[in-house]
Structure 1
Amino acid sequence: MSSVLGAVIATFITVPYLVFFVVKKSIYKVTRKKRKAFKISTDVTTFFLFFSIERMTVEIWGQSYYWVLILLFISGCVMITVMIWKNDLDLSMGKIFRLNWRLQFLLLTFGYFSLMTYGIIERILEA
């Protein structure tokens, strides 16, 4: 049973957009709300994108650059905090974290597809 669970988690880390579609479909079936299903699926997928990009950097360059992802996350929090502080006086940690988490989804999606393209091209040129 643990090997099946490990295989499912490894698949979700390798292809995090499977998580997006599975969660979106499941939440939509339960709630019948497309917007809520989309938001929850992006939040869950972001978690898997962090691990996926870390694993891709290890495969491509043989070294983990997880610290870059952490710095990206922290700088996103700082940037969003400053933007909210300049435009609005209501500084809520939940609001800052939620906006940063969704920003990370966009940045990590770009990074995922960029690393995937780079990795494929590099493997083709090596052969």
Structure 2
Amino acid sequence: MIEFTAFLAATLVTVPLIGLYIIYFVSVKTTRNKQVSFKIAVDSTVLLFIISVYFLFLEIWRIHTGWMIVLFFLFTALIFTVLHWKNYEDIKLQRLFKGVWRFQFVVFFILYFILVIYGMIFRILA
């Protein structure tokens, strides 16, 4: 059972799109609403994409980017907080956190594909 759990975790970190699809599929079957299911899948797989990007950086350039990821998260949270305060004058934490979290998904989703393509080209040419 431990080997299966390790295999599943390694697969989901290596290919987070599988986790995104599985969560979306299960969620569509339970909620019967594709838009809500997509939001649930996106919110649930942000950490998979962050961890995947971390390991891709580590594999390609041998640098630890954990502190950069944390700083990026805090910086975007700061920017979103200021923008939210300027627009609404009242900060709603749940809405703010959801916006930051989904923005992180978009950034790390794009970074994942860029790093995978770059990593493949880098390994082929090296």
If the length of structure 2 is used for normalisation, what is the TM-score?
Answer: 0.96
Distance 1:10 1:36 in 2: 27
Residue 44 of structure 2 corresponds to which residue in structure 1?
44
2:28 aligned partner:
28
Instruction: Show the counterpart of 1:7.
Output: 7
- Count matched residues: 126
Instruction: Report the equivalent of 1:94.
Output: 94
Dislocated runs of 4+, deviation >6 Å: none
**Distance in structure 2 (CA, Å) of the matches to 1:110 and 1:68:** 17
Check if 1:85 corresponds to 2:85. Answer: yes
Superposed CA RMSD in Å reads 0.9
What is the percentage of aligned positions where both structures have the same residue? 33
Flag structure 1 segments of 5+ consecutive residues without an equivalent.
none
Code of the aligned partner of 1:6: A
Q: Hey, what's the Cα distance between the residues in 1 that align with 2:103 and 2:59?
A: 25
What's the offset of the Cα at 1:47? 1.1
